[in-house]
Structure 1
Amino acid sequence: MLTVGSFFAGVGGIDLGFLQTKKYKIVYANEIDKYPSTTYNANFEEKMDIHDIHDIKGSDIPNFNIMIGGFPCQAFSLAGYRKGFDDEQGRGSLFFELVRILKEKKKMNALPQVVFFENVKNLVSHDHGRTFRVILDYLEELGYKVKQQVLNATEYGNVPQNRERIYIVGFQSINAYQKFSFPLPIELTQKLEDCIDFNSRVNKKYYYTSQTFKQYNELKESIIKDNTVYQWRRVYVRENKSNVCPTLTANMGTGGHNVPLIKCKGGIRKLSPKECFNLQGFPKNFKLPAELSDTRLYKQAGNSVVVPVIKRIAINISDSLESI
């Protein structure tokens, strides 16, 4: 059983993808935000360490074979400020805390065999590619041979959400590196109605009305089809004509820009948090703590990962390690 150390774990989407393969065991998980930590602890045996990563030493963490993490992406995101390592909130620089921990593990002769990171597609092109080059240089300095690829959930996860992300895998072993390849595309057989309940009346808080939304008439004129997803784009409605959901974002619960909307029984409504987690490929039995507000759950779903894509990559990683 390969051991895993998880960083910036959020609600555990990456962790879950690895665990679903039955090849890995989580021995450590870290996330500073107490709200996704609450969701994580409701679903995983290994309980979350909620200390600031700046305060965590390599010697304080159990040794592990694989480091996984989705280091904060807002600084590199098309939906964010694109400031990268210069982000004034320090989010871009958090990658260097992972490097620090790896260096400390190396001094202990306990450097992980593999690193696996997920991030926004824009990370590759940010600052004309210089940001990504810095990341690769640091990993290569530590001895990792790195492969990376942008994968879309619709093509590689059988999930009806248009979500492109960069996946980065680094191996200490040149043989494992050479054996590893990213998954091949698969057919999208899962439909929107497998993730979204178009046929039932849900809690009234999810519905838009003329009393609760001043541009309701624009919604009513544009949102006319069942079994598809629209987006409210501040001043207009955009229909997604590819029969998949647009990329879920962390601000879906604020009622502002890029809110996915559907026409269903009872009228026009936004997706529920559970439906958003469904569209990220989380299993139906994944627990969403009742004490957390919908706004926090929307943020957690939007910040998470597509679990089936992670699982497919995790299988290929373990196969590569087993072959050497």
Structure 2
Amino acid sequence: MIKSNYKVGSMFAGIGGTCLGFIQAGAKVVWANEVDKNACITYRTNFGDAYLEEKDINEVDKLNIPELDILIGGFPCQAFSIAGYRKGFEDDRGNVFFQILEVIDGQQKTYGKKPQAIMLENVKNLVSHDKGNTFKVIKEALNNRGYDIKAKVLNSMQYGNVPQNRERIYIVGFLNEEHTKKFTFPDEIPLTNTLNKIINRASKIEDENYKKYYYTEATKFYSILKEGMTNHDTVYQWRRVYVRENKSNVCPTLTANMGTGGHNVPLVLDQDNNIRKLTPKECLMLQGFPEDYQLPEGMAPSHLYKQSGNSVSVPVIKRIAENILSVLDEQKEPLKKEVINEELDGQLSFITT
């Protein structure tokens, strides 16, 4: 992997999945923002404390963010008032998408230029949300700031080689129209990474929370689970009154709701026919995080489940980032390339190519 000179800012950074994908592609994160205190603890455990701003994005000083070449973020999806937007956002100031625009505007005011590229991630139904009005406002607002955009729904199991059925829309935009024309989303790749390469079925989980992961005869619906769970190669979901097997042998979409109740966490049958939930570590690896990504000591599993469900599939982000950096490099003087060595400005010890 080569190191680029492109500086990245990350909004709604969570535990750093989007940041990690861009770092793995060769970019340098210089600023990140997240409001959730537990997600910030996990972020700092892995990335350090040099550039994370733990604050509500509405309270961030947009004129005091470092100069950025690329702005990235996965933002919450909220309805828009088109009429309000066209009158100057009066009706929609609370919508966090507009904070993305404020960061772009702040870059223009402070440095005299906007980020060259943007990459945003959201749920796949963003295009149809509010009968298409939400995406219409997003596209129009970005176009008005000079960005030509492309958008595509990518499934993690098809584009990231991770065994999770996770469809998300990715929006990529450039100020230079030629960059947009040259940019392409990654091609589909074979799924060779199986569930059993990630899930430990060979032995019992040994950590302080292990009892929380296992179902026993004391569980009132244990008999239904015992009867319905027979496959050691896939995952299951408890649907309150029945158990459902995932026939495709991939994990269903991980969600933040995993942190609000055990029935939301996918279940597995180990080789000794014990029934348990996926662990938070396994959930992160099903998002493509490396095995040595660190979980903070003492943090409740409920917080960790929420964080993994809220995160992104790192390999998909990395592949998109590589294509963005390639396009940005194509029409400028060649950068002086240098191999990344042990010095990465404190940004992770587990970066993989």
| TM-score when normalising by structure 1 | 0.92
How far, CA to CA, are the matches of 1:28 and 1:150 in structure 2? 27
How far, CA to CA, are the matches of 2:22 and 2:224 in structure 1? 43
Between stretches 130-139 and 245-254, larger displacement belongs to 245-254
What is the Cα deviation at residue 229 of structure 1?
0.4
Show the counterpart of 2:144.
141
Aligned partner letter, 2:74: G
How far, CA to CA, are the matches of 1:232 and 1:123 in structure 2? 28
Show the counterpart of 1:69.
73
Between stretches 35-44 and 101-110, larger displacement belongs to 101-110
Show the counterpart of 1:293.
300
Aligned equivalent of 2:122, options 111, 119, 124: 119
Q: Higher relative contact order by CA 8 Å / sep ≥ 6: 1 or 2?
A: 2
CA spacing shift, 1:287–1:142, aligned 2, 3 Å: same
What is the Cα deviation at residue 154 of structure 1?
0.6
What is the Cα deviation at residue 113 of structure 1?
0.5
How far, CA to CA, are the matches of 2:80 and 2:307 in structure 1? 23
CA contact (8 A) 1:149 1:168 kept: yes
How far, CA to CA, are the matches of 2:75 and 2:329 in structure 1? 27
CA spacing shift, 1:263–1:12, aligned 2, 3 Å: same
Runs of 4+ in 1 over 6 A off after TM superposition: none
Aligned partner letter, 2:291: K
Extract unaligned runs of 5+ from structure 2.
Answer: 82-91, 332-353
Show the counterpart of 1:222.
228
How is 1:79-94 mapped onto 2 (pairs within 5 angstroms)?
84-85=79-80, 93-94=95-96
Aligned equivalent of 1:247, options 245, 248, 253: 253
The Cα offsets for residues 109-165 of structure 1, whole Å up to 9 and x where unpaired, read as 131011111111011111111111111110000000000000000100000000000
What is the Cα deviation at residue 301 of structure 1?
0.3
> Sequence identity of aligned pairs in percent?
55
How far, CA to CA, are the matches of 1:262 and 1:271 in structure 2? 7
Show the counterpart of 1:171.
174
Does residue 210 of the first structure (1) align with residue 217 of the second (2)? yes
How far, CA to CA, are the matches of 1:119 and 1:319 in structure 2? 23
Aligned equivalent of 1:14, options 15, 18, 36: 18
Aligned equivalent of 1:323, options 311, 326, 330: 330
Show the counterpart of 2:40.
37
How far, CA to CA, are the matches of 2:226 and 2:13 in structure 1? 39
Aligned partner letter, 1:279: L
Extract unaligned runs of 5+ from structure 1.
Answer: 76-83
The Cα offsets for residues 8-66 of structure 1, whole Å up to 9 and x where unpaired, read as 000000000000112x1111010011100001001114442111111112211111100
CA contact (8 A) 1:201 1:266 kept: no
Count of aligned pairs: 310
CA contact (8 A) 2:33 2:54 kept: yes
What is the Cα deviation at residue 92 of structure 1?
7.8
Does residue 52 of the first structure (1) align with residue 56 of the second (2)? yes
How far, CA to CA, are the matches of 2:154 and 2:9 in structure 1? 23
Between stretches 231-240 and 92-101, larger displacement belongs to 92-101
- RMSD (Å), alpha carbons: 1.6
CA contact (8 A) 2:10 2:71 kept: yes
The Cα offsets for residues 180-234 of structure 1, whole Å up to 9 and x where unpaired, read as 00000000000001111111111232101121x2211111111111121011112
How far, CA to CA, are the matches of 2:144 and 2:263 in structure 1? 41
How far, CA to CA, are the matches of 1:135 and 1:246 in structure 2? 28
Between stretches 129-138 and 100-109, larger displacement belongs to 100-109
| TM-score when normalising by structure 2 | 0.85
Aligned equivalent of 1:98, options 97, 100, 108: 100
